[in-house]
Amino acid sequence: MSLETENNGPSLEVLECRVRENPDCALSRTKLATALLKLGKTKRAEAELRKAIEIDAGYIPALVNLGGILLARWDFRGCVDLNRQAASHKPDAIEAHFNQGLAHLYLEEKEEMVACFERVVALDDSHAAGHYYLAVGLLSLNREEEARVALSKAVQLGYKPQPDILKALNNKDGKNSAHKTKGNPDIQKNP
State pLDDT tens for residues 36-58.
Answer: 999 999 999 999 999 999 999 99
Average pLDDT over residues 14-25: 91
Task: Give the tens place of pLDDT for each residue, 78-99.
Answer: 999 999 999 999 999 999 999 9
CATH fold of 108-191, please? 1.25.40
Which pLDDT score, from 0 to 100, does residue 180 have?
Answer: 37
Query: Mind spelling out the 3-state secondary structure of 133-181?
Result: HHHHHHHHCCCHHHHHHHHHHHHHCCCCCCHHHHHHHHCCCHHHHHHHC
**Domain map (residue ranges) of the chain:** 11-107, 108-191
pLDDT value, residue 189: 35
| pLDDT tens sequence across 156-176 | 999 998 888 878 777 734 444
The domain over range 11-107 is classified in CATH as 3.40.50.1400 = no
At 106-121, the pLDDT tens digits run 999 999 999 999 999 9
The predicted structure's pLDDT at residue 143: 94
The angle subtended at Cα 165 by Cα 109 and Cα 171, nearest 5°, is 115
pLDDT above 50: residue 32: yes
- Do the domains spanning 11-107 and 108-191 agree at the CATH topology level? yes
